[in-house]
Structure 1
Amino acid sequence: MRLLTPAYLLRLWLRGRAEPLYRRFLRQRLGIYPAHEHPRPGWVWVHAVSLGETRAAAALIDALRRAQPGLRLLLSHSTATGREAGVELLRNGDAQVWLPFDTPGSVRRFLHHWQPGVGVLMETEIWPCLQAEAARRGLPMVLANARLSARSQRRGERLRALLHPAAQRLSLALAQTEADAERLRASGVPRVQVAGNLKFDMTVDAVLLARGQAWHETLGRPVILAAVTREGEEALLLKAWQSQGAALKAAGRPLLLIVPRHPQRFDEVAQAISNAGLRLARRSQWADVPDPEALAADAWLGDSMREMALYYGLADVALLGGSFAPLGGQNLIEAAACGCPLLMGPHTFNFAQAAELAEAAGAARRQPDLAQALSAALHLCQQPDDAAAMRQRALAFAQGHRGAATRMAADILSLEPAPRA
C-alpha cells in the first residue's frame, strides 16, 4: 500500500479533471491535517464510502442524534459523490474528511488526530491496517448495515490472510439479513446481529417527488425510467426500444428516461441516445420546469445528482439498473418508497433479500432480460389499474420494513472504548 500511494494520488488527481473535488484536501488521504486543528476526543465517526452508503447513513445519523443529543459527528468518505452528499448531514461542530489510505502511518495519524469514541463503517468497508490500529487503540469498530453476498464472500477468500484478521477485530457487525449474518460469521466476524436494512429508513424528498409527479402531468404521456444504469445496459435498452415501434405507439408514445449510475458517463450515454436516432433532452438543461423542446423529446437523460425521488415520481414504471447484467442490481428500496412500480432483471445479489421480499409483496416483478422487461413496461403503461395497485403495494412494502436505524443506533452507542492493547 505504501508503494502504491504515489500512483493512487496520481489517479485521484487525474480523476479530478472531471470531478474537481478529488483534488481537494489530498493531504487528508495521508492522515495529515492543519497543525492548528486540535479536536476534542469522543467523536462518533461514520465512514460512508460513496453516495449510496452516505444516503443510507443519513437515517442512522438522525437516529444517533436522537439517542445522544449533542453528538459530534466525524463523517468520512472515499468518493466525490459521497462527500458532496454528506455535506447535507453535517451540523455545527461536525467535521467531514477523506478516509486515509490504508497504510499504517496514514491510519495512525488519522486516529491520533481525531480520537473518535466509536467507529462505524457502512455496509462493506473493512480495511486491514485500519482495523489493526483501531484494535491497538481500543477503539470499538462497527460494520453497520452490513451485507456480504455469496459472490463477495468467495472473492474475499482469495485475500483470507488479510481480511479474516481484519474481520475478527470488528467489535460488532449489524447485518441486513440472516444470510448476510451467516456469511459474516464465516468470514471471521466474532459478533454479528441482524438489524435490518437502513435503506428502508431513508426519508424520501417530498419536494422532489411532487415535482416529478407534476412534470408527469405536464408531459401527458407515460414515462419509462431506466434507473441507475450501468455500462452496457443502455445499449441493450436502446436496441430494444428501437425494435418496439408499434408497441410504443400503442402505449401512447412513452418517454424514455435514462439515469446512469456514474456521472462521468453522462456524456457517453447522451451520445448513445442520439446515435439511436432519439430526440434527446438533458435534465441539466433546465431548472424547475422542462422547456417545450424537452417536452417534445423522445428521451431524457437524468444527468443530475441526488434527484432520484424526482425521477421515480415522474415515472410510470422503472427498470432496475445493474440487474440486467451480472452486477448485482442497485438499491430498489427507494423506488418502493416513492411508490414506483419496478421491473428487475435476474441479477439482484447485492440486494437479494430486499428483491425477494419486494417480488413477494407485489411491489416488483422479475424479468429475464431487458427486452422482455421493456415489453412488460409498455404493457403496464396500458394497464393503469395494475400500475396503481403496484404503486400501493410498493408503498406498503417500504413502510413495513422501517426501524433498523433506531435499533442500530442503540447498539452502536452501547459500545465503550476498550483498554489499549
Structure 2
Amino acid sequence: MNNILYLGYGIVGTGIYFLLRLFLPLLRHLGKRYSYGLEQRLGLYNENLLPEIQCQRRLWLHAASVGEVRAAVIVADALLQTIPGLSVVLTTTTEQGNKVAKKLFPENIPCLMAPLDVPIVVARALQKIAPDVYVCLETELWPVMLSMLRKRGTAAALLNGRLSERSLGRYLYLKTFMGQLLQGFEWIATITSEDASRFARLGAAPDRIEVCGNVKSAMVKGDIPRRRDRYRKILQVEAEKVFLCGSTHSGEEEHLLPVYRRLSAQRDILWLLAPRHLERIKEVAALLLRDGLQFHYYTELKNGGKRSHSVVLVDTMGDLVDLYSAGDYNFCGGSLVERGGHNILEAVQQERPVYYGPFMNDFHQEAALLESAGCGFSVRDADQLACLLQQHDRHQEKYEQACEQARHLVLTGAEIVEKQVNLVNDLFENKRK
C-alpha cells in the first residue's frame, strides 16, 4: 500500500512537471507573478547560481516561507560560527520567502526556490547542490526528497519541529506511510514535548526526537536599540507612543479603531496598521477615511516623505518584524477575529511585550510561553485591550517589567539555538567518520 501511494504521488508530480515544462514559455510571457523562480522549481539551474565548493562541507537549509526564513537566519548564523569551512545553500517554497531571504542572508549564501517534490526534479537539485547534510524547518515533509536523501546517504534533520493536533489527525490516516517518511530524519528537534509526542505517535523513532524549544524566540541578528532607533527615525517618532497592530485581518481594524481613539485621547499616539494581506490595503484605507482619519502609507515615509498625520498604513511585505522594534504597544492580529492568531514571538523578539485577542488557536503554545514569562497579554475583546494599554501607559513600571521579561525570554533563546545547532553538528561529525 505504501509503495503504491509513493508511486502514485510520483506519477502525479511527474505529470505536473511535464505540464509546467510545456507551458513554461507562456508562463514567462504572463510575467513574474506566474513564473517567479519556476526554472529553479523545475530543477533548471543556471551555472552561476551556485559557487564551486572544494574541500568544504555543504548544508542545504530549507525554509518554507517568511517566518521560517527568519528562523533560518538565526540557525545559519550559529552554524557558520560553529562549523569550520561550512557552505550553506538556502531554499524557500514561496516567492515572498525567497525575496526576504535575499535581503537577510549575506551575498555568499545562494537563496533559491525549492524544487518541486518530483523524482526528476529532486534528482537534479541534489546533483547540483550536492549537500552533505539537509535541514528543514518546522513541518516540511516531502516524500520524494526524504526518500532520495536516504538513498543517497545524505543525513537529514528537522529543526523547530511543530505538529498540531489537527495536522496529526490528518496524517494518522496514513500512519504507516508517514512513519516511513519520518525515518528519513536522523534528528527531529521539536518545539515542545507535545510536538515530540505527536511525531512519535506518527511513527518517528523516540530516540531520534529531541525537545529543544522554539528557535524563533532567539535573538534576531543585529542590535535591537539601533534597529529601534532606525525605524523610529523613518517614522519620525518624537514624543508619541507607538501603537503597532500587525497582521490584521478583515473585521479586525473596526475593533482596533476605538482602541486607537481612546489611547489618543489620553496621550500623543502614532498608530501603525499592518494588514496581513496587501490586497486589503485599499479596503483598510477606505475604512480609515470613512472614520475621518488621514494617514500616510509607510512607503511614503520609507522614501523620505515628511509625516504630518498620526496614522501610518504599512503597505509593504517583509518589514513588519523589524517594525515591531519601533513599537511601544505591539498588538498581533488574527486574534480579535477567528483566524487562529499569528506568530507573537516575532514581536517579543524586539524585547517588548505583545498583546493579542482570544483567538490564538494556532499559536496557543507560544501564548502560554509568553504569558508564563510575563510578557504576553491576552485580552477577550477590544475594550479590554484599550483598558490594559491605558493601564500600562499610566503605570510605566508595569510596562517596563514586561519589557524586562521579554528581554529575559529572548536571552534564553540562545540556549535553544545551541541545542539545535549541536544536533546538526553531530550529523556533520558522523559524516566524517
Query: Where does residue 418 of structure 2 map in the other structure?
Result: 406
Question: In structure 1, which of residues 287, 309, 330 is the aligned counterpart of residue 342 of structure 2?
Answer: 330
TM-score, normalized by length of structure 1? 0.85
Question: In structure 2, which of residues 245, 254, 263 is the aligned counterpart of residue 238 of structure 1?
Answer: 254
- 1:392 to 1:403, Cα distance in 2 relative to 1, 3 A: same
Say if 2:214 is the partner of 1:202: no
- 1:345 to 1:137, Cα distance in 2 relative to 1, 3 A: same
SS of the counterpart of 2:98? helix
1:15-50 deviation per Cα after TM superposition (whole angstroms, max 9, x unaligned): 9989x4763442211112236879558421000111
Pairwise CA distance, 1:119: 0.3
> Partner amino acid for 2:253?
L
**Structure 1 contact 215–314 (Cα < 8 Å) conserved:** no
Pairwise CA distance, 1:75: 0.8
SS of the counterpart of 1:47? strand
**Structure 1 contact 225–315 (Cα < 8 Å) conserved:** yes
**Structure 1 contact 47–122 (Cα < 8 Å) conserved:** yes
Say if 2:235 is the partner of 1:226: no
The 2-side partners of 1:95 and 1:364 are apart by: 36
Question: In structure 2, which of residues 290, 296, 309 is the aligned counterpart of residue 281 of structure 1?
Answer: 296
Say if 2:121 is the partner of 1:109: no
- 1:17 to 1:359, Cα distance in 2 relative to 1, 3 A: farther
1:374-403 deviation per Cα after TM superposition (whole angstroms, max 9, x unaligned): 443344334333322222222222223422
Pairwise CA distance, 1:349: 4.3
The 2-side partners of 1:199 and 1:278 are apart by: 35
Question: In structure 2, which of residues 32, 38, 46 is the aligned counterpart of residue 34 of structure 1?
Answer: 46
Query: Where does residue 275 of structure 2 map in the other structure?
Result: 260
1:265-291 deviation per Cα after TM superposition (whole angstroms, max 9, x unaligned): 444443443344421211101237661
- 1:238 to 1:414, Cα distance in 2 relative to 1, 3 A: same
> Partner amino acid for 1:131?
L
Say if 2:154 is the partner of 1:139: yes
Q: Let me know the Cα RMSD of the aligned residues.
A: 3.3
Residue ranges of structure 2 left out of the alignment (5+ in a row): 1-12
Question: In structure 2, which of residues 308, 320, 324 is the aligned counterpart of residue 312 of structure 1?
Answer: 324
Residues 75-84 or 364-373, more deviating: 364-373
Question: In structure 2, which of residues 78, 83, 102 is the aligned counterpart of residue 87 of structure 1?
Answer: 102
The 2-side partners of 1:199 and 1:269 are apart by: 29
The 2-side partners of 1:321 and 1:307 are apart by: 16
Say if 2:399 is the partner of 1:383: no
The 1-side partners of 2:305 and 2:58 are apart by: 44
Pairwise CA distance, 1:416: 5.3
- 1:243 to 1:48, Cα distance in 2 relative to 1, 3 A: closer
- 1:143 to 1:8, Cα distance in 2 relative to 1, 3 A: farther
Pairwise CA distance, 1:162: 5.0
The 2-side partners of 1:168 and 1:228 are apart by: 36
The 1-side partners of 2:260 and 2:70 are apart by: 36
**Structure 1 contact 211–310 (Cα < 8 Å) conserved:** no
Pairwise CA distance, 1:53: 0.7
The 2-side partners of 1:21 and 1:202 are apart by: 33
User: Identity percentage over the alignment?
Assistant: 27
The 1-side partners of 2:410 and 2:343 are apart by: 12
**Structure 1 contact 204–309 (Cα < 8 Å) conserved:** no
Query: Where does residue 169 of structure 1 map in the other structure?
Result: 184
**Structure 2 contact 60–129 (Cα < 8 Å) conserved:** no
Residues 271-280 or 126-135, more deviating: 271-280
- 1:90 to 1:380, Cα distance in 2 relative to 1, 3 A: closer
> Partner amino acid for 1:353?
Q
**Structure 1 contact 56–202 (Cα < 8 Å) conserved:** no
SS of the counterpart of 2:417? helix
**Structure 2 contact 218–412 (Cα < 8 Å) conserved:** no
Identify the structure with bigger relative contact order (alpha carbons < 8 Å, sequence gap 6+). 1
- 1:127 to 1:269, Cα distance in 2 relative to 1, 3 A: farther
1:336-391 deviation per Cα after TM superposition (whole angstroms, max 9, x unaligned): 23232221223334443332121122111111234532443344334333322222
Aligned length: 410
The 2-side partners of 1:46 and 1:80 are apart by: 16
Residues 168-177 or 1-10, more deviating: 1-10
The 2-side partners of 1:103 and 1:194 are apart by: 31
> Partner amino acid for 1:388?
E
Question: Residues 47-126 of structure 1: matches in 2 within 5 Å?
Answer: 47-88=62-103, 90-91=105-106, 94-126=109-141
Query: Where does residue 185 of structure 1 map in the other structure?
Result: 200
Pairwise CA distance, 1:175: 0.9
Residue ranges of structure 1 left out of the alignment (5+ in a row): none
Question: In structure 2, which of residues 267, 271, 285 is the aligned counterpart of residue 270 of structure 1?
Answer: 285
